[in-house]
Amino acid sequence: MSLIKWNSNQFFPEISNPRFSNWVNNFFEDDWFTKGSQLPAVNVKDNENDYQIEVAAPGLSKEDFKLSLDHNVLTIASEKKTENVEESQGKDQEKSKYTRREFSYQSFRRSFTLPKDVKQNEISASYENGVLNIVVPKQDTTKETGSKTINIS
C-alpha cells in the first residue's frame, strides 16, 4: 500500500500559500477608517460643585476647537487641515515640480446633553498637553430654609 499526499486545494494551490492567507486575513481584519476619523476619548467627572469633561485630542491647538451651547446641548467640534510640502530646490523656484505633496484633513464633533442644574454662563475651557478640559459649574440646589414646624390638620 502506498500513501499519496492529498492536496486540499488541488484546483487553487495558491490558496494554501501562507502569504495569500495572511493577505486575506489582513484585508478583512484591517480597520480602513481609523486614520482621521476616530472620535477622541472623553472622560466626564461628576464632582460636588461641577462637572469636568476631559477630551483627549493631542496634536491640536486651542484654535482648532469650537465649543457651543444650544438648548442645554454642549457641542465640542474640531477641524484641522494640514499640508506637507516637499519641493525640489532648483535654481528657478517657479519651474520646480513637486516630488511629494500630502494633504490631510481631520475633524470630529461630540455633543453632550447637560443636566438642568448647571450654570450655563460660567462654563470654562482650557487646552493643555493634548487634553481639552471643560468645567461646567453646578447650581446650588440645596438651599437651606432653616427649621420649620409643620402642623398636621
Residue 124, pLDDT > 80, answer yes
Which of 81, 98, 100 has its CA nearest to residue 90?
98
Residue appearing with cell numbers 494640514 = 82
Domain boundaries, the chain: 13-137
Q: Is the pTM of the predicted complex or chain greater than 0.75?
A: no
Residue 88, pLDDT > 50, answer no
Residue appearing with cell numbers 495558491 = 14
Instruction: Report the pLDDT value the prediction gives residue 153, as an integer from 0 to 100.
Output: 38
For residue 145, what pLDDT band results from cuts at 50, 70 and 90? very low
Instruction: Report the pLDDT value the prediction gives residue 137, as an integer from 0 to 100.
Output: 94
Instruction: Report the pLDDT value the prediction gives residue 52, as an integer from 0 to 100.
Output: 96
pLDDT, tens digit (0-9, with 9 covering 90-100), for 32-60: 555 545 788 999 999 999 999 999 988 88
pLDDT, tens digit (0-9, with 9 covering 90-100), for 3-27: 766 655 556 555 556 666 666 666 6
Spatial contact of 112 and 70, defined as CB atoms under 8 Å apart: no
User: Which CATH number, 3.10.20.520, 3.10.110.10, 3.30.465.10, 2.60.40.790, labels domain 13-137?
Assistant: 2.60.40.790
Instruction: Report the pLDDT value the prediction gives residue 104, as an integer from 0 to 100.
Output: 76
Query: What are the grid coordinates assigned to 85, written together?
Result: 510640502
